[in-house]
Amino acid sequence: MLIFFDTETTGVEANDRICAIGIADEEGVHYELIHPGRKIPPAASAIHQITNEMVADALQFGASQSRTRLKALNQSGNVLVSHNAPFDIAMVAKEGIVWEGEVIDTLKCAKALMDDLEGYSLQFLRYELRLYREEERFFADHGVPLAPHNPLSDALHVKMLYHYLLDLADHEKLVEISRSHVLLMRLPFGKYAKRRIEEIAHKDSGYLRWMLESVVDMDEDLRYSIEHYLRNG
């Protein structure tokens, strides 16, 4: 079974927790607010529009329907599909659920299969790939309102993106890409943004080495790619 999944959280640090979950699978759709056990900072609310008042009476994850549903879905034969899957899986692992099935990371797959785009966020891809042309019907078919950064709405956009990616690679290839490092061609940010990393390694390798030392939360595929081009430059 394919499980399209998204979380919204209080942030991205080690002590941050889930405040909402969205799941879409063949059994239907599921959305739930989760009491994170800590305050939701304004910076997080500004993204997903979930406030402390909204989760005040919500259940914590351990008592939630989301936990029950994920525990039932956590089987080796199921495939979790998420945009930036390592983050979502890590957030669920903090709550005691270690995912046992295969994983498709649509973020990693998009980077690997479309290396010339200006961005790879889910909302950017929604417009870049013109998924919005079909979303009104698609969301109506699922009985879900369109609301970017709502986890259920985002889970359905992940489903749309997955089907788009199937035109570029089959399901097994998407699983394979998600398991491995992706060799990125271009630098996504910084003074050489959108320039080829291989070119930068030849012309200004010191800048790339500085990035490796200074950017502590660097994407693992970007770190892998910079190290590759420095090693082989």
pLDDT value of position 233: 66
Residue pair 50/19 in contact (Cβ under 8 Å)? The answer is: yes
Residues 6+ apart with CB under 8 A from 229: 197, 198, 200, 201, 208
pLDDT value of position 55: 95
Neighbouring C-beta atoms of residue 138, cutoff 10 Å: 18
pTM (2 decimals)?
0.86
- CA 188, 12, 218, 185 dihedral sign is negative
Residues paired with 18 in a beta bridge: 9
State how far the Cα of 179 lies from the Cα of 177, in Å rounded to an integer.
5
> Which class in CATH covers the domain with range 2-179?
alpha beta
Do the strands 2-9 and 18-25 form a parallel or antiparallel pair, or are they unpaired? antiparallel
Domain range annotation of the chain:
2-179, 182-233
Q: What is the pLDDT of residues 137-174, one digit of tens each?
A: 999 999 999 998 899 999 999 999 999 999 999 999 99
pLDDT value of position 14: 81
Helix (H) or strand (E) holding 33: strand 28-33
Low-confidence ranges of the chain (pLDDT < 50): none
CA–chain centroid gap for 110, Å, is: 11
